Structure formats: structure tokens, C-alpha cells
Structure 1
Amino acid sequence: MTNEPTIRSIIEQELERRGYSLSSFASRSGINRGTLSAILNGNPPKPIAIRQLDLMTEALEQPEGHFYPLYVNECVDSDQPNRRRVKAFLLRCAEVGQTECIQEVLDRIVENLSYIPMIFEIGEELYEKGLREESRLFYNVVIESEKYQHSERLAISHYRLFRLSLGDDAEANLIAATRFELYLYRLPEDYQLDGLLHLANAYLTLQKWVQTEIYSDELRNLAKMVYKNYERAYLQGKAFQFRAERNLVVYYGQGYVLKGIALQFQRRYEEIPEYIAGYADLSWFVGLNESGKEEVEKFKLFAKLNTYNLKVLLGDQSIIPEYIESVKKHPPEILPSLRVIVEASNIHNFFIDDILEQFNIDTGLYDRADNYYRLEVSKDRYLRLFYHLSVYYLRKKEFEEGISKILITLKIAISLKNYNYFMKLIPLFERYRSFATEGQLKEYETLLEGVIKDA
């Protein structure tokens, strides 16, 4: 026998303390007096709906979710609790941030595997509403409890957690990508397109060129196959189910774009034109809506700028003024384009001070309101840009500026846990240590101490 207060006893105490009768509280809360009486005095008492509890909470001038911890017992009141009530409660808990209540309910019902489909559905509903962190709790339960290892909901749950895990931490991104790979091909084709796109992007920022090529090739091939089926259905006037997050043309074009970028970083320049041609004009796609047409125009821009990239990387300096004027019309492209120009100047030993003076590089080029690139992609580009700027200024024998750029790059690499660049920057600094100021040496030591402390 427990002496813990029940939700009804607490509400009754509040009514007595405030001097509310059933009639006055019914008027204040908007709940019928007879319903209130059945809830508080019935034998057995009428179950409380979550909407009714919210109305009572508001009428008692308490914050949202105040009584939710007590409501868990009301909601999960037997071995076979009312599923509609459980679902409504879990959704409301997610909306008001009561994650402890969510976990307690899930812990109580998870042993009954018949609840797994409902738990998955709630996770999907929250994910679509943008309550991504709250949805993670539900996907974790599905992964831990799903007995059918080839079930679609298990694969989708792994995919959702992969997406939720992607961020600034390169080490965490690698772990998330390798875990998800095992479930990629258990996804429906439209989800596979999303999975392939994000895997290719993840490995690109991790500088895993082989994996980037593999997944961009597979993305391109799958997009072509799905397009054939879509085209057939479109021409026959039939409906075509497509649940991917973006327009089909995006996956088709990105398969070419990502392949070209991977080749660029490996300096396999002679192979790149074939892939630029693959996305330069995708207006032949049938059934493009307005967003699809916008994506086609964006790919035309990418093709134009990547053609400039290729020429500059091959040593053509004459094209740079034209390139810069094009980039200025499309501000989100300034960061990736500058990185290429600085890298090319280091490869071919020319100087670009007049170009650098046209941009305020130190104010965070990646953090733009109009940026259509994912933040982690832009941060990775910012890291690469500053690494090449470090080399550029050291090459010019502007040692203090070069070392300053090394330290900025080192900070970014540490924050992103990008150990590839960390291992490039340490020997670069040590090579020029004798040119560092006292302040720069102190900052360098402080950064390294922080790394050791966090190791």
C-alpha cells in the first residue's frame, strides 16, 4: 500500500485551498460539472483525458505539464492501458518538454511488443512536427525492442537517429554514419535516396573520399532508376508515391555534384568535366514543380561555378575576376569559392591579396541568414579555407598573420573534433614556431592543454 498522493487527491486539495466548489471550478475550467464530479468523486472514477487535465492545470494557474508526473499512473493504469490516452499523453509530454514522463511511460509499456508500432508512429509524428530531440526517445525504443531485424520501421528508426546525430562533431558523425550503413539498404527506395545523400555528405566532410565516391555513385544510380519509374508513371498519368524529403531532381543532380567534389579533393581534375555535364542542365526532367525548377537553376549555377573552380585549380588565373563577380551575385557561394581560389594560389604559387581584400573573411562567412548549405558543411569549408589561408600567408613570409590563421584554424578543428586537420596544423605550427609572438605561443599552449584535458 502506498501513501503517495494521487492526481485526484492533489487536485482536490487545490480546490479546497482556493475555495472552489465543483460548480465554480467547472465554470472556471470549462469542464462540465457532471464530468468533473465523475472524475473526482465517481466510484470508480472517470478517467481523466489529457485535454481535461490541461484545462484544470490552467484553471489552477499552474504551468503546462505541472501535473504530468502524477498523470503517468492515471495513463498507464493497467496491463492494457488505453492506447488513445497513452498516445495523446506522450504527444503532449513531447510538446511541453516532459521527457522524464515520456521515458517512464515507455519503460512501462515497452515489454508489450504490440506497442512498438504505436511508439514508432509517435516518433514519426514528432519528427515531422520538428520535435526532433523528443522523437529520439521513441526511435531508441524501437531499435532496442523491434524483434524483426529486417522490418521497415527498424531501418527508418536507424535512419532518423543517423540524421539526428549529424552535427559539428566529426567523430560523432563518423560513428553515426558507420552504424547507419548496416541498415541503409533495408530502407524503402525513397528513404534510401535521403540516406545516400546524407552519407555521401557526411563522408565528404570527414575527408573519406572513397566512401564519398561510393555513395555518390549509388545515389546517382538509384536516382536514375527511380526517375525511370517516375517518368513512366507521369507519362501514363498515374500517381507515383515519393516520400523523400526533397525533389527527385535534387538526388539526381547531387549524385553528380558530390562525385565531382570528391574527385576535386583528390586532384583527379581530368575526370571532373564528365560529372559537371551531368547536372549542368536538368531541365529535361518531366513533371518539375516550381521548387524542382528552382533546383534545376541552382544546379546550373553549381555547374558554372565548378567549371570556374576547375579552371582555377588547373592554374588559369585570368578567369578569377569573372569568377569573383559571379560569386558576389550569389553570397552563399563566396565561402566555397574563396577556398578553391586560395588553394589554387598555393598550388600554382600566385598571389591574391586584391581578391582577399574584397571580402570580410574573419566575420564568419558560414553563418549567413541566406545560406542554403547545412551548417556543418559550411563550418567544414570555413576550416579548409583558413587552413589554406595559413599556408598562403606563410608562403608570403607574413609569419605573424600566417600563425594567427593557424590558431584560428586549430580552434575550429578542435571544436569540430576534426583530427585530420588537427594533425596537419600541429606540425605546421611547429615548423614556424620561432616566428610566433609570445601571445601566439601562449594561445597555442592553451589550446593544446584544452585538448589534453578533454581527451
Structure 2
Amino acid sequence: MRKSILKSLKPDIIVEMLEMAVAFESWNKVMERADMLYQCVQAIHEEGQEFQSKGVAAPFINIERPMVYYYGFSHLMRGMAHRKMGQVDQARACIDQYADLGWMEDLDEVGMQVVQEFRHKAQMNRYALEIEAGQVQLLEEFVKFLLEHPEEWLAGLKVITESAVRHRWQIDRVLHMFGDQIQGDGKEIDSSNNDDMYHYCYQRALYEQWMGRPQEAVEFILQAIRLAYKLEMDRYFIRCTALLESLREEATGEQIGRYRMMLEEMK
């Protein structure tokens, strides 16, 4: 893409486009837009350096975040796309890029905080990538990391549970360690991060089904159905109802009653 066009683009608009592509799990589009964001901020950065070399103030750029954020976010999103497409080596390379963003010049306090946040994301995502690839020997270390960083427990459990389903690991002990966070006060699972919670509940239902606990699986799929409805994601909803229908014969009458009532409420 021509440099003049890149400089006319708005980094924050590209971030929104990226987030939309992620929501629809369109990983090729995520890759394209991550590259677009990187090229855009690189063009802005290079222009700023040219003005600086001439001793002239660079034109004002209206952006919502420090420039370093957009570099980090472009690498983060590209890494996510590689990871979702099973391209582990490429995902590792992207993580290395946003793990160390301190090379940028003139970082103020806010910029340094962004650098630290991406360094933390890199640590989390390195664990997630290796766990997903089947490195079960890292599971205990990852659990320790999650216990030390409670803000990450939901995203981490989503990774662990999905990996357990894929690689046929028994993780009851791990799930028990996070029992209080998962169950809350013993009532309905809830979270401000509905997307992560949806994926966790869906994968947990698959895990419980594999472990031969169909009624527990139904409980989690009912939670996932409600979250899919809140998220207004039809494909999530269809996926959940298909799984519940496969478990219908082993569900209790009370569970099926709740399922029917839920569907009535959602009409």
C-alpha cells in the first residue's frame, strides 16, 4: 500500500476493524488488517523521524493511544491469527515482537505502561500457545501464573479446558483449584467478559461430556447458551443447541425444562 494512503488512514479505525474481524473469527482478515495497522503506524513513525531530522515539528496526529500501542496491537493480532490457524512458529515470532517494545524513542510514563502491559500479554500468550500445542509439562507452571494474576484466570482456564478436550487431559484437579472463581456464590456463572466466559463454558461442557458426566455438561451448555444470546452471536447459539440436543437423553427433566423456558424467554 502506498505511503501516502497509509498516512491518511486512522489507526483507531483499523483497531476497530481488527476487533470486528476477531469477533467473527475471520483470521485471514485479522492478518490483513494487522499488517495494515503496522504499515500505517510505521508510515506515521517514519514521517515523524523525517521531520525530526530536519528540526521541524511533525504534524499533529489525532490518535487515542500512544503510538507504541498500535505497534504492539498489530503484532498481538497477527500472533492471534497465526495461533488460531495452527501456525505455532509464526505465532511465537509475533509474541517475541510485542514482548519487547522498549526500542521506541521518547516513551513517556503512559507509553512505558503500555510496554509493560504488552510484556505481560506476551508472557500469558506464550504459556497459552505452548499449552494449546500439547506441552502438558507446562500446565502446573501456567496454573501458578494464573493464581498470581487473578485477572487472567478466565482466559487461562479457557485455554486449559480447550486443550484438555483436544489432547484428552484430565484436569479435574486444576478446575477444583479455581472452583470458587468459577462458581462464585454457587449460583449462575457470570463475568464481565462474556466472550471468554462463553468459550470457557462451551469447552467445559465438552470436557464434562468426555469425562462421562453428561448432566454437568448440560449445566455448562445452558450457561453458554445464555451467554451466546447476550453476545448476539448466532453461530455460538447454534453450536450450543446442537451440543445440548446430543445430550438431551442424558439430561434431567428439570434441565430440559430450564432449556425450554430459556428458549421461550429468548423469542
| 1:365 positional shift | 6.7
| Alignment of 1:396 onto 2:211 | yes
TM-score of the two chains, using structure 1 as the length reference: 0.53
| 1:406 positional shift | 0.3
Residue of structure 1 aligned with 2:183, choices 353, 362, 368: 362
- SS of 1:318's partner is helix
- SS of 2:177's partner is coil
Cα contact 1:194–1:245 (8 A) shared by 2: yes
- Structure 1 window deviating more from structure 2 (345-354 vs 207-216): it is 207-216
| 1:384 positional shift | 0.9
Q: Match of 1:243?
A: 62
Aligned residues: 256
Q: What is the distance in 1 between the residues matched to 2:55 and 2:148? A: 40
Q: Which has the higher contact order (CA 8 A, sep 6+)?
A: 2
| 1:237 positional shift | 5.3
The 5-angstrom pairing of residues 134-145 of structure 1 reads none
- Letter aligned with residue 317 of structure 1: V
- Letter aligned with residue 362 of structure 1: Q
Cα contact 1:219–1:255 (8 A) shared by 2: yes
Q: What is the distance in 2 between the residues matched to 1:237 and 1:187? A: 20
The 5-angstrom pairing of residues 60-71 of structure 1 reads none
| Alignment of 1:230 onto 2:48 | yes
Q: 1:328 to 1:233 in 2, by over 3 A?
A: farther
- Letter aligned with residue 321 of structure 1: E
Q: Match of 2:162?
A: 343
Q: Match of 1:216?
A: 34
Q: Which has the larger radius of gyration?
A: 1
| Alignment of 1:434 onto 2:243 | no
Q: What is the distance in 2 between the residues matched to 1:198 and 1:329? A: 31
Q: 1:393 to 1:276 in 2, by over 3 A?
A: same
| Alignment of 1:258 onto 2:73 | no
Cα contact 1:257–1:279 (8 A) shared by 2: yes
| 1:421 positional shift | 1.1
Unaligned runs of 5+ in 1: 1-184, 368-377
Q: Match of 2:107?
A: 288
Residue of structure 1 aligned with 2:132, choices 313, 332, 335: 313
Q: What is the distance in 1 between the residues matched to 2:108 and 2:227? A: 40
Q: 1:186 to 1:252 in 2, by over 3 A?
A: closer
Cα contact 1:209–1:262 (8 A) shared by 2: yes
Residue of structure 2 aligned with 1:206, choices 16, 19, 24: 24
Cα contact 2:7–2:44 (8 A) shared by 1: no
Q: 1:237 to 1:446 in 2, by over 3 A?
A: farther
Cα contact 1:231–1:286 (8 A) shared by 2: no
Q: 1:365 to 1:250 in 2, by over 3 A?
A: farther
| 1:388 positional shift | 0.6
TM-score of the two chains, using structure 2 as the length reference: 0.89
CA RMSD, 1 decimal? 2.0
Q: Match of 2:89?
A: 270
Cα contact 1:383–1:409 (8 A) shared by 2: yes
- Letter aligned with residue 228 of structure 2: A
- Letter aligned with residue 386 of structure 1: C
- Letter aligned with residue 330 of structure 1: H
| Alignment of 1:409 onto 2:224 | yes
Q: 1:365 to 1:327 in 2, by over 3 A?
A: farther
- Letter aligned with residue 231 of structure 2: L
Unaligned runs of 5+ in 2: none
- Letter aligned with residue 337 of structure 1: G
Q: What is the distance in 2 between the residues matched to 1:346 and 1:221? A: 38
Q: What CA deviation, in whole Å up to 9, does each residue of 1:240-280 have, x standing for no partner?
A: 32210001111111001011112222323232112112211
| Alignment of 1:279 onto 2:94 | no
- Structure 1 window deviating more from structure 2 (203-212 vs 289-298): it is 203-212
- Letter aligned with residue 160 of structure 2: I
Higher helix share: 2
Q: What is the distance in 2 between the residues matched to 1:232 and 1:432? A: 64
Q: 1:296 to 1:231 in 2, by over 3 A?
A: farther
- Letter aligned with residue 129 of structure 2: L
- Structure 1 window deviating more from structure 2 (405-414 vs 313-322): it is 313-322
Q: What CA deviation, in whole Å up to 9, does each residue of 1:117-148 have, x standing for no partner?
A: xxxxxxxxxxxxxxxxxxxxxxxxxxxxxxxx
Q: 1:399 to 1:234 in 2, by over 3 A?
A: farther
Cα contact 1:386–1:409 (8 A) shared by 2: yes
